[in-house]
A and B are shown apart, each in its own frame.
Chain A
Amino acid sequence: MNNVSSSDIWYIVLIAIFILSFILNFTDIPQRMQLWRFASYVRRRLVQLDEIENDIRRRLVSYLSKLNVASPKEVIDNFINNYFLIEPVSIEPTDIIRRLAHLINVRDANVKEYVERYIPKLQKPEKHNVIVALEIASAINIVNKVLKHYFKLGLKNNNWILLMQLALSMPEILRIVNAYSKALDAFSLGTPIGDGAGPLVVRYLVGSAEPKVITEDTVYYEVSLNNRRVYAIKAEGPGATVGRPGEAVDKLIEMLGGNVARVITVDAALRLESEDTGEVAEGVGAAIGDVGPEKISIERAVTKYGIPLDAVVIKMSIEEAINTMTKEVYDGVLKALERVKELINSKVREGEAVIVVGVGNTVGVL
Chain B
Amino acid sequence: MVQFTSLDYLTIILLILTTLLLIFTIISMFTQKRISKTVIGPKIIVKIKCLNNDYNEEKEFNKGYYVGLETGKCPKCGSKLVVDAIYSVGGTKEKELR
**Residues in chain B near residue A7, CB distance under 8 A:** 7
Contact indicator A324/B44 (Cβ below 8 Å): yes
Given that A10-B10, A13-B14 are known contacts, is A325 also in contact with B86, CB under 8 Å in the complex?
yes
Q: Is B2 within 8 A of A1, CB to CB?
A: yes
Does B31 interact with chain A (Cβ within 8 Å)?
Answer: no
Known contacts: A6-B10, A189-B61, A203-B68. The answer to whether A326 contacts B5 by CB under 8 A is no
Once the chains bind, are A365 and B44 in contact (CB under 8 Å)?
A: no
| Cβ of B63 under 8 Å from chain A | yes
Query: Chain A: which residue is nearest B67 at the CB level?
Result: A365
Q: Is A191 an interface residue (CB 8 A)?
A: yes
- Near B by CB (< 8 A), chain A positions 1-44 give 1-2, 5-7, 9-10, 13
A366 to B84 Cα, complex, angstroms = 11
Q: A residues within 8 A CB of B21?
A: none
Answer yes or no: A364 CB below 8 A from chain B CBs.
yes
Is A238 on the interface with B (CB-CB < 8 A)? yes
Is B30 close to A, CB under 8 A?
A: no
Expressed in whole angstroms, the Cα–Cα distance for A364 and B2 within the complex equals 83
Tell whether, in the assembled complex, residue B44 and residue A191 are in contact, meaning their CB atoms are under 8 Å apart. yes
Contact at B68–A365, with CB atoms within 8 Å?
yes
Residues of B contacting A189 in the complex (Cβ-Cβ under 8 angstroms): 44, 61, 63
Which residue of chain B has the shortest Cβ distance to A330 in the bound complex?
A: B87
A203 touching B67, Cβ below 8 Å: yes
CB within 8 Å of B: which of A41-75?
A: none
Nearest CB in chain B: distance from A212 CB, A = 16
Query: A327 near B87 (CB under 8 angstroms)?
Result: yes
Residue of A nearest to B35 (CB): A171
- Pairs A–B under 8 Å by Cβ, sample size 14: A2-B3, A9-B11, A10-B10, A10-B11, A238-B68, A238-B69, A323-B88, A324-B88, A325-B86, A326-B91, A364-B65, A364-B66, A365-B67, A365-B68
Chain A contact residues, CB within 8 Å of chain B: 1-2, 5-7, 9-10, 13, 125, 189-192, 200, 203, 208, 237-238, 323-327, 329-330, 364-366
